[in-house]
Chains A and B, each alone.
Chain A
Amino acid sequence: MILSLDALHALLPMHLLLDPDGTIVSAGRTIRKIIGPARWIGDCLTIERPVCRDLRDGWPRMLAGCRILLRPLSAPEVPLRGQATAMSGGLLLNLGFGIALVDAIRRFSLTDADFVPSDLAMEFLFLHEANRAVMTELARANNRLEEAREAAQTLALTDPLTGLLNRRGFESCLDEAVRQAAIHPFALAHMDLDHFKQVNDRLGHQAGDDVLQQVAQILRVETRSSDRVARMGGDEFLILLSGNGSPDDLQLLGRRIIHRISATVEIDNLCCGVSASLGFARSSDYPSPCAETMLADADAALYAVKVSGRGDASLHERPGVRA
């Protein structure tokens, strides 16, 4: 039994029926969109597989069912792959686009009518587009999650009033600094405001908050991007200063900060008499620095300043000697 040409056209829109000399006896309607009205294979297609000199040379292998790859002369970027079998003394090939389907559709403006229901072309296109849509959706969701996570992270480490680090945030920076102290020495400053309680008592908490925000801003301005500033609660601040500042440098910085605070912090455009005291500790003063010790020593230096009249900055001397 032979397949009639009508049957071929109905079932196989991508078929080619060839004579041994290359004449195109029949071509499916979709193939025709690619090869145009060509009557002879040499006018429209090159045979890439099987590797052969010409059709006659490749004929026996194609008859035997080897894989065939043809390239249209008009569109070499859209290869046609398939296989062949003998029919009516000629060669019947059935071809497909493989993953070049998308390119083929674009290049030749193919529509639904160019494929038969048994072809998986529509399913392929559906999957292709759906996949991209889902990927985009996932990327969007991931970005949102990442943003939310970062926001939550920042929130957990930030003092809401001043925007400086909070205790938790500072402690993690300090731990890291201690770990790297040998290569990257640093200094720790503990600062308390002087006469802050009076502001709160006389002018209220709103005024107090205002002062704290101004102080925070001064600290931001007076420190570098590699430094870290935290508000520990109340009117207590901690500063992590990167680098191996000399005792003189640190005292200079401390006094500058104090001066800025006492000179510029105002409420209702009036200087309110708030000042500050600072105590420092330097990592290079310790053979093996440790967070608790440095914090205690900076605190001790601060205490010494307060006891001796406030409004000054002092470096803790002789670490390790202190009980």
Chain B
Amino acid sequence: MQGMINRWLEGFLRTSYGDAFWNEALVAARLANSDFLTLSTDRKGAARRILLTAARKLEKPLDEMLEDLGAWLVQRESLRRLLRFSGPDFAEFVQSLDELPGRARLVLLDMPLISLTVERTGAQEYRIGSEEMPLGWIWVLAGGLRGMADDYGALAVIAVSDKWIDLSIVVEEFALSRPFLLMPQPEVAP
């Protein structure tokens, strides 16, 4: 699983900021000679280091970088499709977020035990939290939620704090949902 995370990190930084940037970040993080992509455990906190280095280079706050990462992740067709199975509309998607870790564990056997709680705080308001989430991942989740709201065509306001995300769905059908067929067309690779 770590290899997959590292691959996503590289993909995110490369496509967002370019190959040269990525190579410089590797050097700055003293990871240039390791095979970053095939590390099966997060040895020496490589993933964390590369993120911190990249944020420093861009002079961006780390949480902003993590949010961008979240948004980028849910734009990848394979991941986006898997998330869309959770619900036919954004409200149902949000409500079933607590089942997401369980679904992930069905396929990623070495996934750490993380739980997500979804509390309804109003008609269209939710508070999403997690006790075990590693530091910073809450921002990735927030970015992902923003991305999914766009995907479903919903308008949502998302506020993040250290421990939870406050989300309110302003307009369910603000824009057209991106197309989602239960079965992708035959020639499309996952």
A148-B183 CB under 8 A given contacts A129-B82, A132-B190, A141-B3:
no
B182 within 8 A of A: yes
A129 near B81 with CB under 8 A, answer yes
**A102, A130, A134, A144: which contacts B37 (Cβ < 8 A)?**
A144
What's the Cα separation between A105 and B186 when bound, in Å?
A: 12
Whether B190 pairs with A110 at a CB distance below 8 angstroms is no
Give the chain B neighbours of A112 by CB distance below 8 A.
Answer: 88, 182
Closest Cβ–Cβ distance, residue A195 to chain B (whole Å): 40
Q: Provide the A110-147 mask, 1 if CB < 8 A to any CB of B, else 0.
A: 11110000000011011101111110110011001100
Whether, in the assembled complex, A202 has its beta carbon less than 8 Å from a beta carbon of chain B, the answer is no
Question: Is the Cβ of B82 less than 8 Å from the Cβ of A106?
Answer: no
Say which residue of B4, B103, B107 sits within 8 Å of A131 (CB atoms).
Answer: B107
Q: Is the CB of A137 within 8 A of B4?
A: yes
Task: Please indicate the chain A residues that have their CB under 8 angstroms from the CB of B7 in the complex.
Answer: 137, 140
> Taking each of A105, A106, A126, A136, which has the highest tally of chain B beta carbons within 10 Å of its own beta carbon?
A126
Q: How far is the CA of A81 from the CA of B184 in the complex (A)?
A: 25
Using known A-B contacts A106-B183, A111-B182, determine if residue A144 contacts B38 with beta carbons closer than 8 Å. yes
- Contacts A102-B183, A126-B82 hold; do A136 and B35 have CB atoms under 8 A apart? no
Q: Is the interface of A mostly helix, strand, loop or mixed?
A: helix
State the CA gap A125–B84 with chains docked (Å). Answer: 11
Residues of A within 8 A of B190 (CB): 129, 132-133, 136
B106 contacts the other chain (Cβ, under 8 Å)?
Answer: yes
The answer to whether A125 touches B3, judged by C-beta atoms less than 8 angstroms apart, is no
Judged by a CB distance under 8 angstroms, whether B78 is at the interface is yes
Q: Are A125 and B182 in contact (CB under 8 A)?
A: yes
A113 touches B88 (CB 8 A): yes
Q: Interface size on A (CB < 8 Å)?
A: 26
Inter-chain contacts of B174 with A (CB < 8 A): none
- Taking a contact as CB atoms under 8 Å apart, the answer to whether B85 and A122 are in contact is yes
B38 touches A145 (CB 8 A): yes
Contacting pair A127 B107 (CB below 8 A): yes
The reply on B157 being an interface residue by CB < 8 A is: no
Contact with A along B174-190 (1 / 0, CB 8 A): 00000001111000011
Task: For chain B, residues 77 to 131, give those with C-beta under 8 angstroms from any C-beta of chain A.
Answer: 78, 81-82, 85-86, 88, 103, 106-108
Which of B38, B86, B181, B183 has the largest count of A CB atoms less than 10 A from its CB?
A: B183
Contacts of B107 in A (CB 8 A): 127, 130-131, 133-134
Query: Closest CB of chain A to B170's CB: distance in Å?
Result: 23
Chain A residues with Cβ below 8 Å from B182 are 105, 110-112, 125
Is the CB–CB distance between A148 and B88 below 8 Å? no
| Chain B 26-45 per-residue mask, 1 if CB under 8 angstroms from chain A, else 0 | 00000000010110000000
Question: Most chain-B CB neighbours within 10 Å: which of A105, A111, A123, A129?
Answer: A129
Provide the residues of chain B in CB contact with A110, threshold 8 Å: 182
Interfacial chain B residues near A137, Cβ < 8 Å? 3-4, 7
Among A113, A127, A132, A133, find the residue whose CB has the most chain B CB atoms closer than 10 A.
A133
Known pairs A109-B181, A129-B78, A144-B35; list 4 more (Cβ under 8 Å).
A122-B85, A130-B107, A137-B7, A141-B3
Q: Which residues of B pack against A, CB within 8 Å? A: 3-4, 7, 35, 37-38, 78, 81-82, 85-86, 88, 103, 106-108, 181-184, 189-190
